[in-house]
Structure 1
């Protein structure tokens, strides 16, 4: 977002932004920058052609510097790289043969037969000639060194993960088990303590959380929370008896900001250091009236930006069937009270308290009428899938998808009949696998693109078959990699694996690939699943990893080095305006980043996030001061692939605050400079990969690229916007 001191049409609006006055004054002196053409390396940015793809990119050639300064491709340096730069082992004793190649420029040209290997941590992995051998649970890096004619001695690295691919926690006596992804092996994990009756199992931003509901049926056990390392599978903190028995979900914003939500209108703020949880009051205040945040036993929670999103059924949904809602509780700095602070969309939603008043703005968002008793939330970028159980009678289960930017529901699909129990969401392909509560372990398929149930568990179920005992409901579904899906059952201590193709083929009626975890166990089943697949932490670019070609390099906001390192976000209410931490892309120009020693790759979910300093005007998340720009990617610096940008012209650009702000619903997809930056690892502890981090996210699959080595931010929007980039972070990446 622009500093108003540097944009004439913003000057008259400073009175509206008194909260930012000090910050704006500090950066106002940097208004006059050196506008001479140049780059950090004395070269102009890459130009080239924009490729045509299945999703046609913008065809306008991005602005360049001058004809004399057109970009020349970088020198074709020779690098050493592994064919597989990360290796996973299910347990000790497994091994893997290393294959290396050399690359000149962007072309692979030869294999390397003679090399040496050395492990950073022999307790995790050792080497034997050209092989890596798993030694114990954990992660490490194996260094490969080779002498390459004409290039000298080169080195590369292979990340090694040793441990089970899946984590299963069973009700009562079975405890935790680690299972390999193809179900070849399963073993109990004695290091992880277990409470009574697992309620939630989540891996959030590199940390594991298991919530146990305790004995809510007359016993003495209260709820417990286990925080653990999903790599070493060792406990970090085990908090016993922290809340009364009941079904809770866990919401995590940072390492020291987490809550338990649910069980009888209760919200508990958890302090892991003190091994305690304190109940806080959560309610919505809407001026003329107030309504308590009524949390049902199936309450689900997640964090996004400054909000904890709580899905619940207001009043008595099983009898009155009043509308279920999403509350957006502001958790920034909250200690004893949480307020529902998301403005919503005017007064479009009725008062679920039944008081007859119609407050404006609404402190909640009503779910579609078909969604009764919401039981789980799944986040994918700015999209939120809400799974609703139904009422086990005349209202069947349903799923709905909410765009968190516009607060509009994209699609809602109801089951033909029956309640919904568990879902696995493939957000990229817009499909959902689901299980029901009809007493049989079966799975169905929902197509969100067309809004239909493709495979109904009543008429054409995919049955989970693997034991002699009758399976009672598919308890948990999990999305794996490479099209794999996993399922458990309530009364069978075991795990099934199948594929999306199995679900889509109506001729396939059974899943038989099954492994038992604890034969003769409790009989109440393998209840919850989590995937422990290795993932490199998000990588914020630094001067060692990138060259930046800036069209007007200078000091202050024109210093391209400002984008190096993690973001220093101040959120959307008081965003970062520092001339030492932001890099501005001038209007009508482009800034190009060449990756050095790493590549951006197409992995699970989004692959790239770019942080910019967006402001919510007056605290309203629908009205934002934005600087939209386009993003293009390239593998060679010559052929470019552009992300589609779509605008809804029904919402005029600059229609608010005298041209300063725009209704965010104008920006449908594809832009950078639209989402605020909440992540500030050095300040608030929010991690770069956390859903609460903010930023604009991009998936290489959208442009059909398996990997990219060049990132270009193009400020050619008709508004003349000049984005201020805080940080560029690779979510999925590999080394050369």
Structure 2
């Protein structure tokens, strides 16, 4: 049962995505950080409207809370979630239909962070999949159903995301060490907080075999990446996914806040931040030297110097 409180669907223990392992992880993170750790996935369903033509039974919006699925079909036809084999059960994805809309909220502001891989700040996961030319995991095409994404800080003023759909590239990948139609869970999980390189397109993927295809994921769990800077937004907290295309019904699995890459100011690797590291920053001043770009703003300057001086005399651990 999904509890409703103050107009919001709350994440409860009965929600398929809210597993004890994730609660334990958050508790550990809180202890390590000495404060509440932000949950990196959507935390609350604000509203949901099922449109016409939505898949029957796929009407539980709370399944879009928490992380995407890694394994699907339990009790029916168990399969690892791969770019060729998506999540497909009613307790894993929610179907929008025509005129449907889903609004999700994070428990914190998702920031435009220049340290994020490829500048991507937010990822939306659907249940699109690659069609297979050979039955062995060769990319022939993409089975996708679209879905318009919009984001907001307050849930009132919305900014639409152009050129990116909710249920499309890049299909979800749950494990790094399984074949395209594996029936047993893998042992190495992909990272749902890391985006795929957004410069890639179907032109780059078409015709690739499975190994070559997933190599381009580079450890990512897939999903549609969104750069807040491209929208002129410093931060957001709400995500809205809607559909008005007749004959289409996007399915949504999850949304996530991208994990930033950190770079140690111990640039020379001697175990302590000091004069040699300062010399490297000053020597690269005004250039685009990636090694010394501690704040990931694309140029070596005051921000990098400030970060280095703030870690002076320490090990500079990232």
When normalised by structure 1's length, the TM-score is 0.23
Aligned match of 2:231 in 693, 699, 703?
Answer: 703
Q: Deviations over 1:389-408 (max 9, x none)?
A: xxxxxxxxxxxxxxxxxxxx
Equivalence for 2:192: 688
For the pair shown, which has the larger CA radius of gyration, 1 or 2?
Answer: 1
How much has 1:680 moved relative to structure 2? 5.3
Q: Deviations over 1:497-530 (max 9, x none)?
A: xxxxxxxxxxxxxxxxxxxxxxxxxxxxxxxxxx
- Counting only pairs closer than 5 Å after superposition, residues 390-469 of structure 1 correspond to structure 2 as none
Equivalence for 1:551: 49
Equivalence for 2:249: 722
Equivalence for 1:521: none
Equivalence for 1:588: 99
How much has 1:620 moved relative to structure 2? 4.7
- Counting only pairs closer than 5 Å after superposition, residues 27-176 of structure 1 correspond to structure 2 as 43=7, 140-143=32-35, 157=36
The 3-state SS of whatever aligns with 2:146 is coil
Matched, 1:613 2:127: yes
Matched, 1:672 2:166: yes
Is contact 1:607-1:700 (8 Å) kept? yes
Equivalence for 1:712: 240
Q: Distance in 2 between matches of 1:568 and 1:608?
A: 17
How much has 1:715 moved relative to structure 2? 1.2
Aligned match of 2:154 in 613, 636, 661?
Answer: 636
Equivalence for 1:601: 111
The 3-state SS of whatever aligns with 2:158 is strand
How much has 1:676 moved relative to structure 2? 0.7
Q: Distance in 2 between matches of 1:44 and 1:562?
A: 14
Is contact 1:612-1:676 (8 Å) kept? yes
The 3-state SS of whatever aligns with 2:123 is strand
Is contact 1:632-1:643 (8 Å) kept? yes
Q: Distance in 2 between matches of 1:637 and 1:689?
A: 23
The 3-state SS of whatever aligns with 2:83 is coil
Equivalence for 1:449: none
How much has 1:679 moved relative to structure 2? 2.5
How much has 1:722 moved relative to structure 2? 1.1
Q: Distance in 2 between matches of 1:564 and 1:706?
A: 23
Could you list the runs of 5+ residues in structure 2 that have no partner in the other structure? 10-29, 71-80, 177-183, 195-217, 261-318
- Higher strand residue share: 1
Is contact 2:8-2:45 (8 Å) kept? no
Is contact 2:45-2:65 (8 Å) kept? no
The 3-state SS of whatever aligns with 1:577 is coil
- What RMSD, in angstroms, separates the aligned Cα atoms of the two structures? 3.3
- Higher helix residue share: 2
How much has 1:631 moved relative to structure 2? 0.7
How much has 1:706 moved relative to structure 2? 0.9
Is contact 1:587-1:720 (8 Å) kept? yes
How much has 1:729 moved relative to structure 2? 1.2
Q: Quick one: structure 1 residues 601 and 730, their matched pair in 2 at CA, closer, same or farther if it must change by over 3 Å?
A: same
The 3-state SS of whatever aligns with 1:617 is strand
Is contact 2:126-2:250 (8 Å) kept? yes
Q: Distance in 2 between matches of 1:579 and 1:572?
A: 19
Is contact 1:635-1:710 (8 Å) kept? yes
Is contact 1:568-1:680 (8 Å) kept? no
Q: Distance in 2 between matches of 1:687 and 1:732?
A: 9
The one of the two structures with greater contact order (alpha-carbon pairs below 8 A, sep at least 6) is 2
Q: Distance in 1 between matches of 2:109 and 2:89?
A: 29
Is contact 1:551-1:591 (8 Å) kept? yes
Number of equivalent positions: 183
Is contact 1:566-1:680 (8 Å) kept? no
Is contact 2:109-2:236 (8 Å) kept? yes
Q: Distance in 2 between matches of 1:539 and 1:44?
A: 19
Q: Distance in 2 between matches of 1:548 and 1:679?
A: 27
How much has 1:608 moved relative to structure 2? 0.9
Is contact 2:45-2:62 (8 Å) kept? no
Is contact 1:588-1:720 (8 Å) kept? no
When normalised by structure 2's length, the TM-score is 0.50
How much has 1:700 moved relative to structure 2? 0.9
Matched, 1:539 2:37: no
Is contact 2:193-2:257 (8 Å) kept? no
